[in-house]
């Protein structure tokens, strides 16, 4: 019922706006499990850039999983608003 409605994309957009406009951060970064492509797509829709991967970085259900790191710079965010 809640999937594929853009709620997560909008939530990330709101967090990014708060981070840059209220907290005055220069960069926001996020991590997701490599096998969870939908989470990655949410970040990429919000103009995050892939910065790297951490192999077997987290343990989930007795298995070690790879995670991907993405980042968004304030300057890049501002350029997407123009």
Domain membership flag for residue 75: yes
Domain membership flag for residue 1: no
Per residue in 32-77, pLDDT (tens digit) is 999 999 999 999 999 999 999 999 999 999 999 999 999 999 999 9
Only one residue has tokens 């990655």, namely 40
Look at residue 82 and tell me whether its pLDDT is greater than 90: no
Domain that holds residue 40: 7-81
Which CATH number characterizes residue 72's domain? 3.40.630.30
Domain membership flag for residue 2: no
Q: How many domains does the chain have?
A: 1
CA distance 60 to 50: 22
CA distance 74 to 47: 11
Domain membership flag for residue 48: yes
């Amino acid at each position: 019922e809640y999937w594929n409605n853009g709620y997560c994309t909008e939530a990330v957009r709101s967090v990014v706006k708060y981070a840059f406009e209220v907290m005055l951060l220069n960069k926001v970064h996020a991590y997701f499990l490599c096998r969870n492509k939908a989470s990655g797509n949410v970040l990429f829709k919000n103009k995050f850039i892939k910065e790297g991967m951490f192999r077997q970085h987290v343990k989930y259900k007795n298995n070690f999983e790879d995670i991907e790191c993405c980042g968004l710079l304030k300057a890049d965010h501002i350029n997407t608003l123009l």
